[in-house]
A and B are shown apart, each in its own frame.
Chain A
Amino acid sequence: DSGVTQTPKHLITATGQRVTLRCSPRSGDLSVYWYQQSLDQGLQFLIQYYNGEERAKGNILERFSAQQFPDLHSELNLSSLELGDSALYFCASSVRPSLGADTQYFGPGTRLTVL
């Protein structure tokens, strides 16, 4: 158990819908990262937050957005869902991006299925 929690574990929804994925980082970690894992694209970095502020953006679609709240939990919002958005979405957390080893610890993931 990494200490990172994600809810829900599974999500099944229809095309065109909107969903919210939630992540709570490890105690003491200020940075949160979101990743998408699919068979064809592999593990793709989406976005990073540090202490409530957006720090870096990766291959995140405009239909997707995220935020980190004052209590440091984060939410990833996916809207106008398409079949191709079906994937495993991971949240990871670390203490601080440039501090030493700064290992990212991954949560259990949310498996999203869009029908």
Chain B
Amino acid sequence: ELKVEQNPLFLSMQEGKNYTIYCNYSTTSDRLYWYRQDPGKSLESLFVLLSNGAVKQEGRLMASLDTKARLSTLHITAAVHDLSATYFCAPRRGSEKLVFGKGTKLTVNP
């Protein structure tokens, strides 16, 4: 069974700083998704990574995928308060179900 581990689970950082969230998964997957969730709200799709070496960027967030290492990263550049949220990664193999990590709760402090 596919297992997903996100690190760290809690991240408190200052505005303007950089940081990386890690997503490790246990078995081969051909796609990986990143979602954002604000408290009490729904999940918003951020990125879909479809192949080894894929990199996608949107604003201050950049996601990458290394299928050989079974690792995806979400890099935050020059964090701002609006990025405070919980971030989930979810690998997927073929048409199988998404398996979500426990999430990384990010708090950006002024």
A interface, CB within 8 angstroms of B: 2, 33, 42-43, 45, 48, 55-56, 58, 90, 92, 97-98, 100-109
Q: By the criterion CB–CB under 8 Å, are B103 and A48 in contact?
A: no
Of the A-B pairs whose beta carbons lie under 8 Å apart in the complex, a sample of 26, sorted by A's number, is A42-B102, A43-B100, A43-B103, A45-B97, A56-B96, A56-B97, A90-B42, A92-B43, A97-B95, A100-B50, A101-B31, A102-B31, A103-B33, A103-B45, A104-B33, A104-B45, A104-B98, A105-B45, A106-B35, A106-B43, A106-B44, A106-B45, A107-B42, A108-B42, A109-B41, A109-B42
How far does the Cβ of B103 sit from chain A's closest Cβ, in whole Å? 7
Q: Are B50 and A42 in contact (CB under 8 A)?
A: no
- Residues of A within 8 Å of B31, CB to CB, are 101-102
Q: In the complex, what distance in Å separates the CA atom of A90 from the CA atom of B44?
A: 12
Pairwise interchain contact A45-B48, C-beta atoms closer than 8 A = no
> Nearest Cβ in chain B — how far from A85, in angstroms?
18
Q: Which 5 A-B pairs have the closest CB atoms?
A: A97-B95, A98-B95, A43-B100, A101-B48, A106-B43
Contact flags (1/0) for B8-52 with A, using CB distance below 8 Å? 000000000000000000000001010100000111110010100
**Does B99 reach chain A (CB closer than 8 Å)?**
yes
How far apart sit A11 and B24, CA to CA, in the bound complex (Å)?
Answer: 36
Q: A48 and B33: CB pair below 8 A?
A: no
